Amino acid sequence: MPATWRGRLVRACRATLFGVAIATGALLSVVLFVTTSYFVILCAIGIGFLALPYLTRAVRWLADLNRRAAARYGVPVERPYQPAPEEVEKDIVGWMRTCKWILADPATWRDMLWLLLNCVVGLAGFLPAALLYYAGEGLFLACGLWLPLADDGTGRWYASVTVDSWPAALSAGLLAVVVFAAWVFLGPLVLRGYAYFVRFLLGPTRRSQLTSRVRYLAETRSGALDVQAAELRRIERDLHDGAQARLVSLGLQLGSVDRKMTRDPEVARLLLRQARASSVQALRELRDLVHGIHPPVLAERGLADALRALGLASPLGVSVETDLPGPLPDPVESAVYFAVSELLANTLKHADAETVQVVARYEDGVLNALVTDDGRGGADLSAGSGLEGIRRRLASFDGVLEIDSPQGGPTVMKMELPCALSSQKTSSS
């Protein structure tokens, strides 16, 4: 048997089994509709509230079974029910709140309508089983079962053929083959049509979908605000307990240096070394704190203007030249911004330079940045300075940092970062 026919037979057999289950559920729909309607009416005098939650649970259980059956035939159906009350008292007040939530949900009444219509539409699930039975009956008649049934001389009626002879039996067999083919092809189609019926009545309406989306957006917005507030508290705590405390200590140490400078120079030098170590530690903690934070100047003005702002803030003579045809991804811009800032700081502290030139260009998917000074040279990545931190930051973006710094000559620090242009924002260059 070809694989195509084998697959169709398997689908037809599965549709027959599912159809019988759906039709059985249709018979259960009659019981649930009558019982639930009766107790909903009794809610007018208060008695119906006693059984309403239990009946609703049974109705939604049956509806969920039909939703899963519809999903098996390529028609996914979402649950349209409103969320249950978060906190329900275990007393009569909580019970009444639950009943109010059930009756106020439009999906409850759509379930009732589905129960009513399913009493009839759901019986279509018997159709694949009926076709299979009828095809089997015709084949049995064609095999000779008509002989004992035709003893009274009237024969057996099958479709439009009276089976009372072998030619009639052959005709009945041919009709049975046609019915069997109809079972193979129509069985899955019947179940798929029923799946669309389920989605029409048991799926969410456009209004309930909009309400669900608004609720989801409100929940995600609340979660985002909570995360933002927690992050702000973390930054404030780290600033207060870390860098701020060290800067206060640095100010006290410098005050002690001022008092000891004339009376005890050796102690003053020791305090200066301690103050320098404190400043290094404070700077390291500030770097850890701002790692991953996108500077506002980048978000507002773009990388080109942010680099110019760094140059204006530096006491050195900094010239900035940029050639950026479009906006770059935020992480890349942030990495370049902090790297150039660190290089300018290193140049100011160690290079004894007067002028610095910063060049940033984007070409063939690579961002190139050069920082050149006219200082005394001697910069070394292996010396364990802040340059090593820059190299690690760039390496996280598959970027590289190269330094050409001959002793007594100009220093050229080159950065390369592969990246693509971003189309989600605009940037001046």
pLDDT digits (tens, 9 = 90+) for 361-416: 888 888 888 888 888 877 776 665 667 777 777 777 778 888 887 877 788 888 88
**What was the pLDDT predicted at 152?**
60
pLDDT classification of 49: cutoffs 50, 70, 90: confident
**What was the pLDDT predicted at 94?**
79
Which one, of 237, 285, 240, lies nearest residue 389 by Cα? 285
Q: Tell whether the model's pLDDT for residue 3 goes beyond 60.
A: no
Residue type, 164: D
* E strands present in 253-328: 317-323
Q: Left (φ > 0), alpha (ψ -120 to 50) or beta: where does 116 sit?
A: alpha
Are 330 and 292 a contacting pair, CB within 8 Å?
A: no
Phi, psi of 411 (to 5 degrees): -105, 130
Rounded to the nearest 10°, the torsion over CA 280, 283, 284, 289 is: 160
- CA–CA dist 397, 402 (Å, integer): 15
Task: Write the burial class of residue 368 (CB in 10 Å: 0-12 exposed, 13-18 middle, 19+ buried).
Answer: middle
Contacts of 213-217 with C-beta under 8 Å, sequence gap 24+, read: 215/83
pTM for this structure?
Answer: 0.51
| Residue 168 parent element (H or E) | helix 166-202
Range in 165-174, 189-198, 232-241 the model is least confident about: 232-241
Task: Tell me the three state secondary structure of residue 421.
Answer: coil
Sequence ranges of the domains in the chain: 1-204, 208-290, 298-429
Which one, of 193, 186, 182, 206, lies nearest residue 69 by Cα? 193
- DSSP conformation class of 293: P
Tell me what the mean pLDDT of segment 144-161 comes to. 65
Range in 7-21, 206-220, 259-273 the model is least confident about: 206-220
Task: Tell me the three state secondary structure of residue 240.
Answer: helix
Are 246 and 282 a contacting pair, CB within 8 Å?
A: yes
Are 360 and 324 a contacting pair, CB within 8 Å?
A: yes
Which structure tokens are listed for 383? 């010396």
**What was the pLDDT predicted at 415?**
86
Q: Does the structural domain 298-429 have CATH classification 3.40.50.620? A: no
Do the strands 355-363 and 317-323 form a parallel or antiparallel pair, or are they unpaired? parallel
Express each pLDDT in 291-314 by its tens digit: 556 667 777 778 888 888 888 888
pLDDT classification of 2: cutoffs 50, 70, 90: low
Q: No. of H helices and E strands in the chain?
A: 13, 7
> CA separation (Å) from 156 to 76, 102, 140, 160?
45, 55, 12, 11
- CA–CA dist 278, 284 (Å, integer): 10
Rounded to the nearest 10°, the torsion over CA 108, 109, 110, 111 is: 50
Residue % of the chain over a pLDDT of 70: 83
- CA–CA dist 411, 316 (Å, integer): 15
Express each pLDDT in 311-363 by its tens digit: 888 888 889 998 887 777 877 888 888 888 888 887 887 778 888 999 988 88
**What was the pLDDT predicted at 343?**
82
Express each pLDDT in 93-135 by its tens digit: 778 888 888 888 888 899 999 999 998 898 888 888 888 888 8
> CA separation (Å) from 47 to 74, 96, 99, 249, 280?
42, 12, 12, 75, 77
Are 357 and 321 a contacting pair, CB within 8 Å?
A: yes
- How far is it between the farthest Cα atoms of the chain? 139
